[in-house]
Amino acid sequence: MKTNTFALVTGGSSGIGFAYAVEWARKGYNIFIVSNNEDLNRDAVARLHNLFKELRIISLYKDLSHPLAAQELFNYCKSENIEVEILVNNAGMFYFGAAVDKPVELSATMTALHCNTPVTLCILFGNEMKRRGRGYVINASSITAFMCFPTIAVYQASKAFLYKFSKGLAFELSYYGVQVCCVCPGAVDTDLYNLPLKIRKILRSIGIMLTPEQVAKRGVKAVLRGRKVKIPGLINYIFILLCFLIPDFIINILKKKFV
């Protein structure tokens, strides 16, 4: 057990975030979950306590899309003497639809969650890690970071930003013993897509959709090995290649059908 150190997981009360919390707890780290759902926070803490009785498991309710959220979270950790050795920027959101047809507040919230808050948390906690000469950062991007498709314009752009930022930060901090990895999964078996359970089971069986546990396990392994980018699942590499080969007229056909 890492008696004094924590893995901080944003969006850690469910889905991939909770799976990351489990993986780091298995490595002996105390867990600090931050999300904007108090009920899920309490449930996640109880489940983790049941699995890892020897660890400290704590949570904090916070809306991470707020402009001051990252600084407030950092200040909270300092005031409570919470030493963050692992930072997992996992909190996020998703929607389908043309960007201009959605409320501007929705896009602002998404860019705050995927860009502004993760960058600030990386800088604040990354500076502490650099000073200590150790630490790990996982930033949750997506294979959509490599795409330019309709209905996910803001999502894919925000994930592309996080991917680029993470790679640059990884080079900056690796010299000081701090590893940064950008994890870019494809479809993951969560409630995010509102798919029927039968369809989700079929997609899992043929490898198109991974479980949260698979993504988290591969992400943790990647950052511990010093990988700067991890794309879980061979099929996702193939999918990215195909996306680069799709001509614009095909994308326009898709746009007319779905937008």
Tell me, what's the pLDDT at 235?
76
Instruction: Please give the residue that has the higher pLDDT: either 126 or 151.
Output: 126
Tell me, what's the pLDDT at 131?
98
Tell me, what's the pLDDT at 194?
62
Q: Which range of residues forms the domain containing residue 66?
A: 2-258
Tell me, what's the pLDDT at 203?
62
Q: Is the pLDDT of residue 258 over 60?
A: no
Tell me, what's the pLDDT at 76?
97
Tell me, what's the pLDDT at 252?
56
> What tens digit of pLDDT does each residue of 184-242 get?
998 787 766 566 676 667 666 656 688 999 999 999 999 999 999 999 987 776 766 66
- Structure tokens of 32? 């600090």
When divided into structural domains, the chain yields a total of 1
Specify the CATH number for the domain of residue 116. Answer: 3.40.50.720
The mean per-residue pLDDT over the stretch 93-122 comes to 94
The mean per-residue pLDDT over the stretch 80-100 comes to 94
